[in-house]
């Protein structure tokens, strides 16, 4: 049976492995089809197809952040044309939003009396977009707090001085970027949001109206009841089903290619391009 994983991350966003390391681990775990869906970035791609070789099919992807009725939502774009002006515009706009947020976090921390060096924070981020964890690392480094947990508790957690909300593109714009690049917009990990099943169904109506075509019916290891529930909703809404480990780093609960079985009643998203 073909093993397909259409949701994974590298250190280009918030994963622990380099693109080459992720490819090697995917092969070692028997993955046949893989999409790297870093947050608001396609930086993991490049010579990736050459690295993958003939025994691993790469589906170009991304995971965009957006909001719906004040709730943060993630939309995966699959089978993208990576040189499309549409997707490049989307990446640039989202990166700009991330950069502006990082600068504002820095300004707030300095105003609060903390001696923050933004250039050092960017060094800590390496290839990644700068986020609160990098500021936390820096605060530990300069001795402002004992550890990262304390950094969030005192300065960076919800409601603290460094808690700056993101300003993302709206849902229709996100889907337009994906569709404009020849891709398919898929709702990522539906069970992770603070939504009732009724609200999730309402979201999917708006998602479909905006051009969304799929939803993850399997995200990592989940119960059979969860898979059945998502599968029924997927079929009822006429959406394509997708699956992914949402891999970030190896742990006893997470690995690339490790997820529950795909439900037979759903039409798979890969049927569109295979």
Radius of gyration of the chain (CA): 19
176 assigned to some structural domain: no
The token pair at 46 is 């490049």
We report the CATH number of the domain holding residue 103 as 1.10.150.650
We report the CATH number of the domain holding residue 75 as 3.20.20.140
The pairing of strands 57-58 and 33-34 is parallel
- CA distance linking residue 58 with residue 52, whole number of Å: 7
Residues 18 and 149 in one domain: no
Residues 147 and 191 in one domain: no
Q: Over the stretch 78-121, which tens digit does the pLDDT of each residue have?
A: 999 999 999 999 999 999 998 999 999 999 999 999 999 999 99
Per the structure, the count of domains in the chain is 2
Over residues 52-77, mean pLDDT: 94
- Indicate the residue among 108, 137, 156 that finishes a domain: 156
143 assigned to some structural domain: yes
Domain extent for 105: 98-156
> What's the predicted TM-score (pTM) here?
0.90
37 assigned to some structural domain: yes
Q: Would you say 244 and 8 are in contact if contact means Cβ atoms under 8 Å apart?
A: yes
pLDDT cut 70: percent of the chain above it:
99
Residues 195 and 250 in one domain: yes
Residue 198 burial (CB count, 10 A): 8
Residues 12 and 69 in one domain: yes
**Paired residues of 71 in beta bridges:** 68
Q: Which residues contact 108 (CB under 8 A, 6 or more apart)?
A: 161, 162, 164
Q: Over the stretch 4-34, which tens digit does the pLDDT of each residue have?
A: 999 999 988 888 898 999 999 999 999 999 9
191 assigned to some structural domain: yes
Residues 149 and 187 in one domain: no
Residues 75 and 195 in one domain: yes
136 assigned to some structural domain: yes
Instruction: Tell whether the model's pLDDT for residue 242 goes beyond 70.
Output: yes
């Amino acid at each position: 049976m073909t093993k397909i994983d259409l949701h994974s991350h590298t250190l280009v966003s918030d994963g622990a492995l380099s693109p080459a390391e992720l490819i090697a681990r995917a092969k070692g775990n028997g993955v046949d089809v893989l999409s790297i869906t870093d947050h608001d970035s396609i930086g993991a791609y490049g010579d990736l197809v050459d690295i993958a070789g003939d025994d691993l099919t790469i589906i170009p992807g991304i995971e965009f952040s957006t909001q719906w009725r004040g709730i943060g939502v993630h939309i995966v774009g699959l089978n993208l044309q990576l040189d499309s002006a549409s997707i490049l515009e989307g990446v640039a706009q989202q990166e700009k939003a991330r950069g502006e947020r990082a600068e504002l976090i820095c300004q707030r921390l300095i105003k609060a009396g903390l001696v923050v060096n933004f250039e050092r924070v960017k060094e800590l981020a390496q290839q990644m977009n700068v986020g609160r964890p990098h500021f936390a690392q820096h605060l530990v480094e300069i001795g402002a707090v004992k550890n990262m947990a304390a950094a969030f508790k005192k300065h960076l957690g919800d409601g603290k001085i460094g808690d700056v909300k993101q300003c993302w593109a709206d849902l229709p714009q996100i889907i337009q970027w994906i569709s404009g690049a020849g891709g398919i917009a898929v709702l990522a990990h539906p069970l992770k949001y603070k939504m009732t099943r009724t609200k999730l169904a309402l979201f999917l109506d708006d998602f479909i109206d905006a051009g969304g075509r799929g939803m993850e019916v399997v995200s990592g290891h989940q119960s059979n009841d969860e898979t059945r529930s998502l599968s029924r909703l997927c079929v009822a809404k006429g959406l394509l089903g997708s699956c992914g480990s949402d891999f970030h780093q190896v742990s006893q609960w997470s690995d690339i290619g490790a997820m529950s079985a795909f439900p037979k009643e759903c039409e798979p998203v890969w049927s569109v391009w295979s």
